[in-house]
A and B are shown apart, each in its own frame.
Chain A
């Protein structure tokens, strides 16, 4: 269950943290009902501000992957509302697809990228 945040990344720390946790959920390392470490202990381990961790946990809650329960912390809880989620993902993926097509990638190329990326996310399970 290792998470790594790179200092040289263009992405802010809190976004990197969200992305890493999402990968762990995607490959079932973090399963439904498991609790994420407390904000304080995660901030201590990473030597970063507690607000940053809080921001990541809120973001995960907004995405419908985590439920923040007072006193017990952030629990993995996938909200299942397929239509809503398709809409959510579409809005995120749209500019990426536009960029891909603008660069000349075919639908087939993109399908390949999607398939191989999903495979690599699933394989990362430790």
Chain B
């Protein structure tokens, strides 16, 4: 079971990473803004194809190495760790591949002056701000109520709790690491759950406030794509937070009442959880695409010649990290991938990244 899961995870991450160029909007190739006039340049399509092929080859080689390793029948821990290392290595290699292609495309654009003859235009639709595309942030506080309820329940049932509190679970849903019982260790998992729920609520709030980036060459089409992108991002977040809440509540309740769920349920629940998260991620990436570019084909016939979006390449350090002091947005659309990134010129960005990390590490340290 563990083996199948590890293989699935590995293949999933390799395939998603390899096909990333095809999930992005046409006007961003390897993090380089491509003006409308050059979208059909054959060399761009070729670069995308080469990236996917190379990336899949790297994945295949690492897969073979892992396979040889697995045929030695290692124990489960070595197994899990080596497949995670394999996953990280393939992601890093594919990321270096991204840098190679990015500099190649950027050079082409520079040398052949692709931006000549097009006017950069900033577009905004004032009516977009009259209603929110995202789910209201308060809906992210409903799972918090469950956590609160469990906190109260744990406090009431404190005597029932075992002397050894589990702190880590195997993929089969069985605890495999423990700590001594104390009022703090009894609720540590619920505290971590609260942090995750808080992160998701903060993300939703910031996605709501993030910019609507319209394309002057296709105003209506890009407008609909942006609304859809925010909407589905918000749904994806809510789905994730609900799934995590259900899994952790389940593990917590089975700690208090060891006979509450039969072993089959315990066995399959973590796997069902991981499968659901993977399916949701795949659906979100493939159906929605970067900034909603895969949501709706352009049915408006709103194409305008001679204009293009603002070239923001200079703000994307290494094509990955957005630094723009002028832009008040905290969350920005990912440059190479589907999802969200952060404006590192805002001090608050560092709070959002490091605060949950520090809190979770502090809990782990205090246990």
**Residues of chain A whose beta carbon lies under 8 Å from any beta carbon of chain B:** 1-8, 13, 24, 30, 36-38, 40-50
List 18 additional A-B contacts (Cβ < 8 Å) besides A3-B126, A47-B211, A48-B327.
A2-B126, A2-B214, A3-B125, A4-B122, A7-B121, A8-B119, A36-B126, A41-B129, A41-B209, A44-B209, A44-B211, A44-B327, A45-B128, A45-B211, A46-B122, A47-B310, A48-B122, A49-B326
> Within 8 Å CB of A47, what residues of B?
122, 211, 213, 310, 312, 324, 326-327, 329
Q: For chain B residues 119-171, which have a beta carbon within 8 Å of chain A?
A: 119-129
Q: A30 vs B126: C-alpha distance in the bound complex, in angstroms? A: 9
Q: A23 vs B214: C-alpha distance in the bound complex, in angstroms? A: 20
Residue ID in chain B nearest A7 by CB atoms = B120
**Residues of chain B whose beta carbon lies under 8 Å from any beta carbon of chain A:** 119-129, 209-214, 216, 219, 310, 312, 324, 326-329
Contact of A1 among B127, B210, B310 (CB under 8 A): B127
Q: A36 vs B210: C-alpha distance in the bound complex, in angstroms? A: 17
Given the interface pairs A1-B126, A1-B127, A30-B126, the reply to whether A6 lies near B119 with Cβ below 8 Å is: yes
Contact indicator A5/B121 (Cβ below 8 Å): yes
A69 to chain B, nearest CB (A): 17
Contact indicator A44/B328 (Cβ below 8 Å): yes
Contact indicator B209/A5 (Cβ below 8 Å): no
Contact indicator A5/B122 (Cβ below 8 Å): yes
- Residue among B122, B209, B216, B219 facing the most chain A CB atoms (10 A cut-off): B122
> Within 8 Å CB of B119, what residues of A?
6-8
Q: A89 vs B327: C-alpha distance in the bound complex, in angstroms? A: 34
> Within 8 Å CB of B214, what residues of A?
2, 45
Contact of A48 among B121, B212, B216, B326 (CB under 8 A): B326
Contact indicator B122/A7 (Cβ below 8 Å): yes
A12 to chain B, nearest CB (A): 13
Given the interface pairs A7-B310, A47-B310, the reply to whether A2 lies near B326 with Cβ below 8 Å is: no
A28 to chain B, nearest CB (A): 14
B197 to chain A, nearest CB (A): 26
> Within 8 Å CB of B124, what residues of A?
2-3, 37, 42, 45-46
A67 to chain B, nearest CB (A): 17
Residue ID in chain B nearest A49 by CB atoms = B326
| 18 A/B residue pairs, CB under 8 Å, sorted by A | A2-B124, A2-B126, A3-B125, A4-B121, A5-B122, A6-B121, A7-B310, A8-B119, A30-B126, A37-B129, A38-B129, A42-B124, A44-B209, A44-B210, A44-B211, A47-B310, A48-B327, A50-B328
> Within 8 Å CB of B211, what residues of A?
44-47
A23 to chain B, nearest CB (A): 12
> Within 8 Å CB of A3, what residues of B?
123-126
A81 to chain B, nearest CB (A): 27
- Residue among A4, A5, A36 facing the most chain B CB atoms (10 A cut-off): A4
Q: A6 vs B213: C-alpha distance in the bound complex, in angstroms? A: 15
